[in-house]
Structure 1
Amino acid sequence: MSSQGGAGRTRVGRYELGRTLGEGTFAKVKFAKNVQTGEHVAIKILDKEKLLKHKMIDQLKREISTMKLIRHPNVIRMHEVMASKTKIYIVIELVTGGELFDKIVSHRRLKEDDARKYFQQLINAVDYCHSRGVYHRDLKPENLLLDANGTLKVSDFGLSALSQQVQKDGLLHTTCGTPNYVAPEVIINKGYDGAKADLWSCGVILFVLMAGYLPFEDSNLMSLYKKIYKADFTCPSWFSTSTKKLIKKILDPNPNTRITIAEVINNEWFKKGYQPPTFETEDINLDDVNSIFDESGDPTQLVVERREERPALMNAFELISTSQGLNLGTLFEKQTGSVKRETRFASRLPANEILSKIEAAAGPMGFNVQKRNNCKLKLQGESPGRKGQLAIATEVFEVTPSLHMVELRKSNGDTLEFHNFYHSISNGLKDVMWKPDGNIAEVDRILHHRSQ
């Protein structure tokens, strides 16, 4: 969004689209507002042509079906699905508390009671998914989000499998997931029980929550797989005896003798302070899933993107003040500790000067800079990272004529590497970042007055 002149806002059906929350190879996720109810949501936008080209339609149908089947307090909820001639829009619950990964980064490791609370919620969600014939297959802290109340929400069913994909031997046969969290039977590719494989990943997550590091880690992939296959790990000294026993039962390399989720729920360590979730079950109809891909269907059912002209200032202000995940107090204070997949700071400098200084600071750090229109930059790392080259999208928003919000968002690569990048580049941007001398509430009052 530019600080120059007027700018438009896009409407899709009843939703008004805002800033980009994240982007990947096949999808972009945007903040949005239901103009009828005022509710804030996230909308996952996918390009039909790209999906067809890469033969991703079946996987997308699976993801939508999965999310429609699941109605649980610890799982991200899908509200509805829409389609235009060229795009598919998946409207999902907006979760604003960040990733559980960030909490681990910030606190190094969690206390046993806190780790147990999140693990209980994770097991609740996974157990329910399995009861509905859904297996996640990529459980890791980055896919576990927290809402504003600190409640865990399982996200990203892009690699999930429905029970219909189970073959005649009763097993799944697709090797997928993130190596450090994958069960040994998945690696050898001879078929695996989706429920048992998911539980293994939950065990790795519990270890990471309490240890602050992975139980299985090696720079060489084959060496990593050997450690996983042998369950070659050691619990740190601060783990209680009951914690160690439970983790060893979950991280049993033999799926036939591995503890089950039902046995985990009855485990004494797990049951401490445990409160089973209460919620109403719903009958879910999947008949409409295929209809959004049906080109011969009723064209009146398709939504249309349309632009609405509004002042750029109001656009920028609304993106800031209406976002549930952005507290003005944290916007105008130097950020420390946790950094998510995106981070923001305020600046008093003109937009073009901000971008020039970011470009100057990023170059010596090994990043190529690609300029875009509308006050945007893309920083592309030159060296390969743990999950490919780190890429960062940068955008400047106008809050008032003399105050800008700068957002840096990871668009590719590893979250922890982005965390380290942000702290490094912050040192070179000290003259760019702005922190008010007065009370944050006063800044909030000024901005609200400015928006009237």
Structure 2
Amino acid sequence: MNGQKIKRRVGKYEVGRTIGEGTFAKVKFARNSETGEPVALKIIDKEKVLKYMQAEQIQREIATMKLIKHPNVVQLYEVMGSKTKIYIILEFVTGGELFHKILNSGRISEKEARRYFQQLINAVDYCHSRGVYHRDLKLENLLLDAFGNLKISDFGLSALSQQVRDDGLLHTTCGTPNYVAPEVLNDGGYDGAAADLWSCGVILFVLLAGYLPFDDTNLLNLYKKISAGEFTCPPWFSFSARKLITRILNPNPVTRITISEIMHDEWFKKEYKLPVFEETKERNTDDIETIFKDCEVC
């Protein structure tokens, strides 16, 4: 033996250190041995997925990410499976969570907040155009790349337009309490696009303020504040930022500002750059079915 450690491989990927861990999955740093490109390798335990009846949710997450190819969304490269594991190969994003940036440095400048918000709105608009509603947009799910560009991650709670019921609405209450739209809490069904937009408004508020617009240790009180749209903008918000946030955090989803209206807003349009990228073709989802076929016998 020459003392060299033999690297573990999954397909053409050399697997390295663990960079994240959840209930069903581990995320490891890996490298494409053909191109040398770093990737994030999400390894999902099939047995746990079945035990907690999460197969459908994970299938949906993979199917969703295959629909989306946008510069401000974490890219899914490929999916593989073995008898006991599912391997999802994702873009490796190096800049950490936007959440940690705010946690460490507090609020950011209006100019910087606007740039992140423009990228967020653009990506969310693209997702909606593909029939995908994220449903858990929050700072922790926004990553930054090496160039400081925003990347939306974690489509685990997303809904596809096929899940919309006959009334044209989604009916699953999900998301993170402080970011969730009032109509999602009210249990009467909700429009996925309007609910995502509310969460974007909460994100913009946090970027500019350094704290959440709706917060309470008592969950019932928190829900009351959200339902009433009860929040106060700090004095350092510019008039135009305050006006836009108030239109987004409107508790009535019918009169809430839409994405196309946001794109015409004076505050939003300042120094706006339209992202240039290649539109993805419809991607095949047959491999997802194949990967989960073994699950019954795992």
* Amino acid of the structure 1 residue aligned with 2:210: G
- The alignment status of 1:285 with 2:258, answered yes or no, reads no
Aligned residue number for residue 295 of structure 1: 294
CA distance in 2, matches of 1:6, 1:287: 39
Distance apart, 1:106 and its partner CA: 2.2
Secondary structure at the counterpart of residue 288 of structure 1: helix
Q: Note if contact 2:68-2:280 (Cα within 8 Å) is conserved in structure 1.
A: no
Q: Note if contact 2:28-2:42 (Cα within 8 Å) is conserved in structure 1.
A: yes
* Amino acid of the structure 2 residue aligned with 1:86: T
Secondary structure at the counterpart of residue 105 of structure 1: helix
Write out aligned runs for 1:43-442 (5 A).
Answer: 43-283=41-281, 284-295=283-294
Distance apart, 1:53 and its partner CA: 1.2
RMSD of the alignment, in Å?
1.4
Larger radius of gyration: 1
Aligned residue number for residue 344 of structure 1: none
Q: TM-score, normalised by structure 2?
A: 0.96
CA distance in 1, matches of 2:229, 2:104: 28
Q: Which moved more, 1:65-74 or 1:282-291?
A: 282-291
CA distance in 2, matches of 1:132, 1:286: 15
Distance apart, 1:287 and its partner CA: 2.4
Secondary structure at the counterpart of residue 233 of structure 2: coil
CA distance in 1, matches of 2:294, 2:152: 32
Secondary structure at the counterpart of residue 44 of structure 1: strand
CA distance in 1, matches of 2:19, 2:88: 14
Q: TM-score, normalised by structure 1?
A: 0.64
Secondary structure at the counterpart of residue 58 of structure 2: helix
Distance apart, 1:291 and its partner CA: 1.4
Distance apart, 1:278 and its partner CA: 1.0
CA distance in 1, matches of 2:119, 2:58: 26
Secondary structure at the counterpart of residue 237 of structure 1: coil
CA distance in 1, matches of 2:100, 2:115: 17
CA distance in 1, matches of 2:52, 2:104: 38
* Amino acid of the structure 1 residue aligned with 2:290: S
For residues 342-365 of structure 1, the C-alpha deviation after alignment (integer angstroms, 9 at most, x for no partner) is: xxxxxxxxxxxxxxxxxxxxxxxx
CA distance in 1, matches of 2:169, 2:53: 24
Distance apart, 1:295 and its partner CA: 2.5
CA distance in 1, matches of 2:294, 2:15: 25
Distance apart, 1:286 and its partner CA: 1.9
* Amino acid of the structure 1 residue aligned with 2:98: L
Q: Note if contact 2:113-2:207 (Cα within 8 Å) is conserved in structure 1.
A: yes
Distance apart, 1:8 and its partner CA: 4.6
Secondary structure at the counterpart of residue 295 of structure 1: helix
> Percent of aligned positions with the same letter in both sequences?
69
